[in-house]
Amino acid sequence: MENIAISVAIPVFNEVDNLEDLISRVELSLNQIGRPWELILVDDGSNDGSFEKITSIKQKCPFLRGLRFSKNNGQTAAMGAGIQAARGDIVVTLDADLQNDPADIPLLLAGIEQGFDAAVGWRKKRNDNMVRRLSSRFANWVRNLISSETIKDTGCSLKAFKAEVIKPIELFEGMHRFLPTLVKMNGGKVIEIEVSHHPRQKGVSKYNVWNRVFRSFLDLLAIRWMKWRKLRYQVDEQV
């Protein structure tokens, strides 16, 4: 079996209209890097025929792998399943709605090659409506304030990690938003890289103010507790 250098793991929930374009753009982007790669699409209990579409496209795309949940388990679960299924030395995550641009993946890989353990996207120019932009900005501010962080865009799913760093991290519901912080807590180095952002062209957004701000507040408190209670010690001697 060919050694895989890069795995791209993408959660999919009712994105049947975006899949062909998504896979095509990932292929175009990754074929530039000159290293073996794979694409893992994790269907999170879609009911619009997304997995059937993945199965059909796989016939002509040997780099494609598909996983399917029996029911909807949420973005963290789908992202975690993709990360654990990845065979590459580097794992890239992004959303399936094409607001993240697969063309930006090489930018993140360059960040990893600079010696960082994670390269995370920063959507400096957001192409969303006013409510989503303001709620996201507020959520980032609250998360950074409470978690004592400086990450500019915790909600950007376009990220790249060294597999050896991300795979050992146990995820809980909602923790996908805090992956850079979790990497840092385990001693990893993180770089933020500006990436593009596009308006959604097809499908329906799964996010609103409730699940973007209020539902994530308990997750944020959990991260704060983990940082506060993390064991920090140094062994001076051993015999």
Domains of the chain: 6-125+153-198 (3.90.550.10)
What's the gap between Cα 136 and its chain centre? Answer: 16
Tokens, residue 102: 């697969």
Q: 3-class secondary structure for the chain?
A: CCCCCEEEEEEECCCHHHHHHHHHHHHHHHCCCCCCEEEEEEECCCCCCHHHHHHHHHCCCCCEEEEECCCCCCHHHHHHHHHHHCCCCEEEECCCCCCCCHHHHHHHHHHHHCCCCEEEEEECCCCCCHHHHHHHHHHHHHHHHHHCCCCCCCCCCCEEEEHHHHCCCCCCCCHHHHHHHHHHHCCCCEEEEEECCCCCCCCCCCCCHHHHHHCCHHHHHHHHHHHHHCCCCCCCCCC
pLDDT at 86: 98
Measured between alpha carbons, how far is 180 from 165 in angstroms, rounded to an integer?
A: 11
pLDDT at 128: 55
pLDDT at 177: 83
pLDDT at 206: 58
**Stated pTM of the model:** 0.83
pLDDT at 193: 95
* pLDDT in single tens digits along all 239 residues of the chain: 568 999 999 999 999 999 999 999 999 999 999 999 999 999 999 999 999 999 999 999 999 999 999 999 999 999 999 999 999 999 999 999 999 999 999 999 999 999 999 999 988 766 555 545 555 555 655 555 555 666 777 778 999 999 999 999 998 888 888 899 889 888 999 999 999 977 767 766 655 555 555 666 667 777 777 777 776 777 788 87
